[in-house]
Amino acid sequence: MKGEARRAAIAAYKRRVVPAGIFAIRCTASGQCWVGKAVDLTTILNRLRFTLSRDVCMNRPLQEAWRRHGADCFAFETVETLDDDLTPYVRDRTLKERLDYWQAALPAERI
């Protein structure tokens, strides 16, 4: 990719809409549930799978359940997405509020 095509690709990448929201990870074997917030929901699953598979996840109970039951027993779901037009400050505040709500609604641990 050269010149103008490269600049166009970079500009398109910068203009892409990134969904922010709340996600849940469920262990089907034990029934445990974890919730977390992410500014970019499209990348959080890969990040979590990478840290869990390398045994470096900061959430010890989640890491232990992953080690005990294996990757096949875990399900990832997007619980809620936020509007794209929120300012970063409002988006971060809303994510914190919605994370508190879903942690109580799902009886789940926070990631």
State pLDDT tens for residues 7-42. 999 898 888 888 999 999 999 999 999 999 999 999
CATH code assigned at 58: 3.40.1440.10
Residue type, 66: W
pLDDT in tens, 60-87: 999 999 999 999 999 999 999 999 889 9
Domain count within the chain: 1
Judge whether 10 lies within some domain: no
pLDDT score at 16: 83
CB count within 10 Å of CB 29 equals 13
Judge whether 33 lies within some domain: yes
Judge whether 7 lies within some domain: no
Q: Token digits for 74? A: 């875990």
pLDDT score at 90: 95
> What is the residue-averaged pLDDT of the chain?
94
Residue type, 50: F
Judge whether 1 lies within some domain: no
- Residue-number span of the structural domain to which 40 is assigned: 16-110
Which whole number is the average pLDDT over 43-64?
A: 96
Q: Label the pairing between strands 21-27 and 33-38.
A: antiparallel
Residue among 54, 95, 88 at smallest CA distance from 71 = 54
Judge whether 3 lies within some domain: no
Q: How far is CA 72 from the centre of its chain?
A: 18
Judge whether 8 lies within some domain: no
pLDDT score at 59: 96
- Is residue 82 within 8 Å of residue 91, measured between CB atoms? yes
Percent of the chain with pLDDT over 70: 99
* Cα–Cα distance for residue pair 56/48, rounded to 1 Å: 10
Task: Please state the pTM of the whole predicted model.
Answer: 0.86
pLDDT score at 31: 94
Judge whether 5 lies within some domain: no
Residue among 32, 52, 37 at smallest CA distance from 108 = 32
